Structure 1
Amino acid sequence: MSVRRLDRAVRALALPWDPAERPAVTAADLAGLPGPAQRYLRAMGVPGRPRPRSFRVRLRARFRLRRTGGPLPCAAWQYNLADPVVRVFVMRLRVAGVVPMLGTDTYLGGHGRMRGTLLGLVPVAEGRGPEFDLGELATWVDDACLLAPGMLLTPAATWSPVDDSSFDVTVADSGLTVTVRLTVDELGRLLDVSTTDRYLALPSGPVRARWTTPVDGWECVGGHLLPARARAVWHLDDGDFCYVDGRFEDLRLEVPPR
């Protein structure tokens, strides 16, 4: 999957960008947050750096289209912007090891959309509507938790205590509101992110279910902390469905949209 395809999709949105430098996050910016949240932000190296306005990252993974099928090789790139809240995710799967299936997820202005094509020409999947709106915003928040938590230090985000090892982050955008729960260890390292503000598309229709992105260790790559293993799991009444299993690479912060 070429990053050029992502860049073309982002440029087509004509997103705003203010190049002015911004002040670094200070201890005072963290003072009113729950204790576990402060540990987490310190562990992620947020204090002392400006709040990121955007990031771009690559994902290499094994992807399952359905619970009964085998995993497919997946290469993906994504771009997230903080103001306005935007997410663009493009991926390529190899069906039967040969036929490329291209997918694009977007969120902009409170609207989410999913599209899938074979060979970039034949439509095979299309999703939009309230369920996709909410789910794409929840995914944007999850992305920020894993890759650039400083993006969540904004008036649109509310940080709420839960217990000594977890806290909630609620984000409002374009009339939508989503909440994710973060669980951290004693050093503040993120263990899991979970939410019920996402819908799984089933043949019978969309089903709201608990969705998690557990973290199996952390590693420093290019000066950034990244999950050593990236997974996405649906927790359903008849069992769990892990449909993404891979790793993030080449994380870059402060990438202008043009």
Structure 2
Amino acid sequence: MKKLYLAEVNKEIIKFKDKPNEVLTEKDISHLPTLVQNYFRYCGYIGKEKINNALVEWEDVYLKMSPTKDWIPLKCYQFNSVTEPTRIVYMTSKMFGIFPFEGRDKYHEGHGNMRIKLLKMFTVADAKGKEMDEAALVTVLAEALFVPGYALQDYLTWTTIDDTSVKGTISFNNTEVSGVFYFNGLGEYIRFETFDRHYSENGKEYKNVKWTGICGEHKEKNGIKYISGFSGVWNLEDSDFEYFKGKVTNITYNAKELID
């Protein structure tokens, strides 16, 4: 699974090897809602290179398979690309602290796919189809301000709701998903909410349930502020189920060298 992840990511990175580095200007963001413009300014993106892709480094990542299960520690590696909405994630851990399992979650070429293997041999999940396409694409949308080159693409449109929130909509390959971005008084992106993800208790039957992404505080590195953590929460009828949480330690923008 790691070899698959590396092959898929490096195939994308090669596309940017000879791509010129353009600088982001005020003119480039002038069509965006005021809240999104302010976010670009707050984070320090103006005057920096336009962002075409990103390698996201995580630590202290945990996953919970159901509300009654314990947290499972994960190692997590992530790549995003914005020319077409692309997100590829590799996760690895040990079930019961003994049996290694790996996952590769992606949205690529207009489709979502979650593949999980146990003991590096047995495929225990290979989810795909309409629900996965929508879930994977709305995850890209939720991370659109982690990798803000997304915000400038034609496939993503914005609508102002009020003084603290805007609606974002991605339309790609006959799939359309939306969600609401919330900002605080500083201009920081703090929360994302959508009904375009599908919750399943058994991996077979799906239902639309409100999903919330909660952002950690913003940290600054090399003159750019980035979101330092993220958690995913299913807002179920009887309770909230936080199932993912992790810290972002670094984001490398505009990667051009192959990774191993």
TM-score normalised by length of structure 1: 0.90
Q: Which amino acid aligns with 2:31?
A: G
Q: Which amino acid aligns with 1:152?
A: A
The 1-side partners of 2:29 and 2:9 are apart by: 32
Match of 1:231 in 2: 231
Match of 2:74 in 1: 74
Displacement of 1:5 in angstroms is 6.2
Match of 2:214 in 1: 214
Residues 30 and 91 (structure 1), Cα distance of their counterparts in 2 relative to 1, 3 Å cut: same
Deviations 1:113-146 (A, max 9, x none): 111111211122221100000111111122222x
TM-score normalised by length of structure 2: 0.89
* Larger displacement relative to structure 2 (215-224 or 106-115): 215-224
Following TM superposition, the consecutive aligned residue runs of length 4 or more in structure 1 with deviations greater than 6 angstroms are none
Confirm or deny: 8 A CA contact 2:116 2:126 kept in the other structure: yes
Residues 42 and 224 (structure 1), Cα distance of their counterparts in 2 relative to 1, 3 Å cut: closer
The 2-side partners of 1:205 and 1:142 are apart by: 24
SS at match of 2:214: coil
Q: Which amino acid aligns with 1:253?
A: Y
Match of 1:183 in 2: 182
Displacement of 1:73 in angstroms is 0.6
Match of 1:126 in 2: 126
Displacement of 1:86 in angstroms is 1.7
The 2-side partners of 1:244 and 1:40 are apart by: 25
Any residues of structure 2 matched to 1:182-201 within 5 Å, and which?
182-201=181-200
SS at match of 2:90: strand
Confirm or deny: 8 A CA contact 2:82 2:149 kept in the other structure: no
The 1-side partners of 2:28 and 2:94 are apart by: 45
Confirm or deny: 8 A CA contact 2:43 2:226 kept in the other structure: no
Count of residues in correspondence between the two structures? 256
The 1-side partners of 2:151 and 2:36 are apart by: 11
Q: Which amino acid aligns with 1:241?
A: F
The 2-side partners of 1:162 and 1:53 are apart by: 28
Match of 1:160 in 2: 159
Q: Which amino acid aligns with 1:57?
A: V
Deviations 1:170-195 (A, max 9, x none): 12211211212111112211111122
Deviations 1:185-232 (A, max 9, x none): 122111111222111222261121111111232222465433333211
5+ residue gaps, structure 2: none
Tell me the percent identity.
25
Displacement of 1:57 in angstroms is 1.1
Residues 141 and 98 (structure 1), Cα distance of their counterparts in 2 relative to 1, 3 Å cut: same
SS at match of 1:9: helix
Q: Which amino acid aligns with 1:69?
A: K
Displacement of 1:12 in angstroms is 5.6
Match of 1:8 in 2: 7
Displacement of 1:14 in angstroms is 8.7
The 2-side partners of 1:57 and 1:68 are apart by: 29
The 1-side partners of 2:27 and 2:147 are apart by: 19
Deviations 1:13-72 (A, max 9, x none): 797336232432221222232222221121122221232111011222111011110001
Match of 2:248 in 1: 248
The 2-side partners of 1:95 and 1:218 are apart by: 32
The 2-side partners of 1:24 and 1:162 are apart by: 29
Any residues of structure 2 matched to 1:32-47 within 5 Å, and which?
32-47=31-46
Q: Which amino acid aligns with 2:172?
A: D
The 1-side partners of 2:188 and 2:130 are apart by: 33
1:111 equivalenced with 2:114 (yes/no) = no
SS at match of 1:187: coil
Q: Which amino acid aligns with 1:207?
A: K
SS at match of 1:80: strand
- Give me the CA root mean square deviation: 2.2
Residues 257 and 86 (structure 1), Cα distance of their counterparts in 2 relative to 1, 3 Å cut: farther
